Amino acid sequence: MRAVRYHDHGGPDVLTTEEIDDPTPDDEEVVVDVHAAGVNPVDTYFRDGGYEPFSLPMVPGTDFAGEVRETGSAVKGFASGDRVYGTGIGREHYGGYAERVAVPSDRLVTLPDSVDTTAAGAAGVAGVTAWRALVDHAALEPGETCLVHGGSGGVGHVAVQLAAAAGARVLTTASPDYHDRLAELGADAVLDYLRDDLADAVQEVASAGPGTDGVDVILDHRLDDYLQFDADVAATGARVVGIGESDPAVGLENDGVARSKDVSYQFMSMFNTPEFRVPLARLAQLMDAGDLTIDIAREYGLDEAGDAQRAVLEESFLGKLVLVPER
Ligand SMILES: NC(=O)c1ccc[n+]([C@@H]2O[C@H](COP(=O)([O-])OP(=O)(O)OC[C@H]3O[C@@H](n4cnc5c(N)ncnc54)[C@H](OP(=O)(O)O)[C@@H]3O)[C@@H](O)[C@H]2O)c1
């Protein structure tokens, strides 16, 4: 089969398309013919060696969707021909940037007929991260106000929809080109993240509802930019979930603001999800019901994996980039 691999850590140029042996399943694995594999920032961190070491060569790709080809002897609940999607590979297991992949059976679920396989292939990291942040960590409730920084991103555009589906009032920030689409996806207010008066604007929208003095739940993917901002716009008892930063030196300039409001900070990694199948199944239900859409900004072939990984870090788009091995 054709697969993208890297034999050394480095830039996007270390990714090469190679002919390698088809995977065979261990007892607990499912082999999937990959139809689509989402391209995520984390794929680049594994490739460049920024995240913990693992054995090389490696096939990148945390996400995947496709059709079951073969199941291991101990696998229950999947049969050849089932449409499936999942996430959580590409680190210690070969990933989804390939024509076929062997996946531990606890990291995939079946797909309802109505759900597009390409969209599902890009749903895993973004969906499970947004779910873990808003549902499991922040326990977002109907009627609360939720701020999603960077709503046009992979995680952001799912988080906007999950917060709306939960009955929250949804504020998000994004570049102006994406404001209309984010309103369609359920955002009640969309603000340009470059506004000089962003904190005031967020406060104004957040405090407009009855009985609220700020934002109850914040999903923050750039903690170095927004950690203090989050405390400043937080309501009393707010929960901030941190998923990323562009500079690891993250700190509060004035922790008294956070203390005075009893703000909780939770940092998370999607890879710590205790049971991937739980959020994956819920996200599939939401996609089936039309309450969650994965916007695909661009598709790439396997030979274009380097371009895709460059673009996911450097270019602006709404939604997800995805590899389609058949292209
Ligand atoms: N901890 C975890 O488990 C976990 C899981 C998934 C992702 N992450 C991390 O979370 C981050 C986002 O991931 P992603 O997949 O959603 O990436 P993505 O699709 O590239 O989205 C990033 C978004 O950030 C926006 N942005 C850029 N500068 C901004 C600013 N100053 N303020 C607000 N938004 C800004 C971008 O908008 P423009 O393009 O318009 O500039 C883009 O929409 C990455 O750092 C990723 O590594 C962590």
Ramachandran angles phi, psi of 61, nearest 5°: 115, 100
Structure tokens at 311: 């673009």
Residues 89, 142 within the same domain: no
Host domain of residue 162: 127-270
Q: What share of the chain has pLDDT > 70, as a percent?
A: 100
pLDDT greater than 90 at residue 211: no
User: Is 287 inside a domain boundary?
Assistant: no
Residues 131, 117 within the same domain: no
User: Is 86 inside a domain boundary?
Assistant: yes
> CB of 41 within 8 A of CB of 129?
no
User: Is 264 inside a domain boundary?
Assistant: yes
Q: How many CB atoms lie under 10 A from the CB of residue 162?
A: 27
How far is ligand 1, taken at its centre, from the CA of residue 27, in Å? 37
pLDDT of 212: 77
Q: Is 123 in the pocket of ligand 1 (CB under 6 A)?
A: no
pLDDT of 18: 98
pLDDT tens digits, residue range 88-97? 999 999 999 9
Average pLDDT estimate for 263-285: 98
Strands 169-173 and 145-148, bridge-based pairing:
parallel
End-to-end CA distance of the chain: 14
How far is ligand 1, taken at its centre, from the CA of residue 265, in Å? 18
Residues 195, 252 within the same domain: yes
Residues 98, 148 within the same domain: no
Residues 190, 115 within the same domain: no
User: Is 46 inside a domain boundary?
Assistant: yes
Q: Is 243 in the pocket of ligand 1 (CB under 6 A)?
A: yes
For residue 268, give the ligand 1 atom closest to its CA: 1
pLDDT tens digits, residue range 9-62? 999 999 999 999 999 999 999 999 999 999 999 999 999 999 987 899 999 999
User: Is 279 inside a domain boundary?
Assistant: no
Q: What is the CATH number of the domain that holds 12?
A: 3.90.180.10
3-state secondary structure of 186: coil
Residues 40, 172 within the same domain: no
Q: What is the CATH number of the domain that holds 236?
A: 3.40.50.720
pLDDT of 208: 84
Residues 311, 239 within the same domain: no
Q: Is 179 in the pocket of ligand 1 (CB under 6 A)?
A: no
User: Is 155 inside a domain boundary?
Assistant: yes
User: Is 280 inside a domain boundary?
Assistant: no
DSSP-assigned letter for residue 274: S
- What is the domain count for the chain? 2
User: Is 303 inside a domain boundary?
Assistant: yes
Instruction: Give which of 64, 57, 7 is closest to 38, Cα–Cα.
Output: 64
How far is ligand 1, taken at its centre, from the CA of residue 15, in Å? 23
pLDDT tens digits, residue range 143-156? 999 999 999 999 99
DSSP per-residue string spanning 216-236: EEEEES-HHHHHHHHHHHEEE
Residues 156, 256 within the same domain: yes
Residues 156, 45 within the same domain: no
Residues 131, 239 within the same domain: yes
Residues 198, 304 within the same domain: no
Residues 215, 105 within the same domain: no
Average pLDDT, the chain: 97
